[in-house]
Amino acid sequence: MQVVGHMINGSQFQGQGDRTQDVFNPATGAVTKQVALASKNTVEEAIAAAQAAFPAWRNTPPMKRARVMFRFKQLLEENAEQICRLITDEHGKVLDDAMGELTRGIEVVEYACGGPELLKGEHTKNVGPAIDSWSEFQALGVVAGITPFNFPAMVPMWMFPMALICGNTFILKPSERDPSAPMLVAELLKQAGLPDGVFNVVNGDKEAVDTILEDERVQAVSFVGSTPIAEYIYSQGTANGKRVQALGGAKNHAIVMPDADIDNAVNALMGAAYGSCGERCMAISVVVCVGDKTADELVAKLKPQVASLKIGNGTDTSNEMGPLITKMSQERIQGLITQGVEQGAELVVDGRGIVVDGHENGYFIGGTLFDRVTQEMTVYQEEIFGPVLCVVRAESMQQAMQLIDDHEFGNGTCLFTRDGEAARYFADNIKVGMVGINVPLPVPVAYHSFGGWKRSLFGDLSAHGPDSIRFYTRRKTITQRWPSSGVREGSQFSFPS
3-state secondary structure of 290: strand
Q: State residue 493's pLDDT score.
A: 79
On the question of pLDDT at 482 being above 90, the answer is: no
Q: Are residues 465 and 430 in the same domain?
A: no
243 and 264 both lie in a single domain: no
350-359: per-residue pLDDT in tens?
Answer: 999 999 999 9
Residues 103 and 204 in one domain: yes
* 310 and 238 within one domain: no
**Same structural domain for residues 278 and 202?**
no
Rounded Cα–Cα distance for residues 9 and 190 (Å): 10
8 Å CB contact between 386 and 325: no
Q: Domain end: 383, 409, 437, which one?
A: 437
- Tell me the catalytic residues: 281
Q: Are both 134 and 44 inside the same structural domain?
A: yes
Please report the pLDDT score of residue 483 as a whole number: 78
CATH number at residue 87: 3.40.605.10
CA atoms within 13 A on the CB side of 77: 10
Q: Is residue 62 in a domain?
A: yes
Q: Are 469 and 487 in contact (CB under 8 A)?
A: no
* The length of the chain, given as a count of residues: 497
Structural domains counted in the chain:
2
Instruction: Indicate whether 230 and 305 sit together in one domain.
Output: no
Confidence of residue 117 (pLDDT cuts 50, 70, 90): very high
State what percent of residues in the chain have pLDDT above 70: 99
Query: Tens digits of per-residue pLDDT, 412-439?
Result: 999 999 999 999 999 999 999 999 999 9
Look up the CATH number of the domain holding residue 423: 3.40.309.10
| pLDDT tens sequence across 171-212 | 999 999 999 999 999 999 999 999 999 999 999 999 999 999
Residue 483 falls inside a structural domain? no
> 182 and 84, same structural domain?
yes
Same-domain status, 295 and 308: yes
User: Mean of the per-residue pLDDT values for the chain?
Assistant: 95
Residues 326 and 202 in one domain: no
* Coil, strand or helix at 111: helix
pLDDT in tens, 259-318: 999 999 999 999 999 999 999 999 999 999 999 999 999 999 999 999 999 999 999 999
Query: Would 494 be classed as within a structural domain?
Result: no
Model confidence at 123, pLDDT cuts 50, 70, 90, reads: very high
Q: Helices in 147-261 by DSSP H: which ranges?
A: 154-165, 180-191, 206-214, 227-239
Answer yes or no: is 224 within a domain: yes
**How many CB atoms are closer than 10 A to CB 464?**
27
Q: Of all helices (H) and strands (E), which one includes residue 418?
A: none
pLDDT of 494 > 90? The answer is: no
495 assigned to some structural domain: no
Residue 497: inside a domain, yes or no?
no
**Does one domain contain both 199 and 263?**
no
At residue 130, the pLDDT reads 86
The verdict on 159 and 242 lying in the same domain is yes
Does 189 map to a domain? yes
Range(s) of the domain holding residue 240: 3-248+456-478
Radius of gyration over every alpha carbon of the chain, rounded to an integer in angstroms: 25
pLDDT digits (tens, 9 = 90+) for 45-81: 999 999 999 999 999 999 999 999 999 999 999 999 9
Q: Round to whole Å and give the CA distance between 275 and 269.
A: 9
Give the pLDDT confidence score for residue 485 in this predicted structure. 72
Q: Please give the Cα distance from 450 to 432 (Å, whole number).
A: 12
Residue 489 lies in a domain: no
Question: Strand (E) positions, 113-197?
Answer: 122-128, 131-139, 142-146, 169-173
The span from the CA of 191 to the CA of 104, in Å, is 21
Specify the pLDDT at position 115.
94
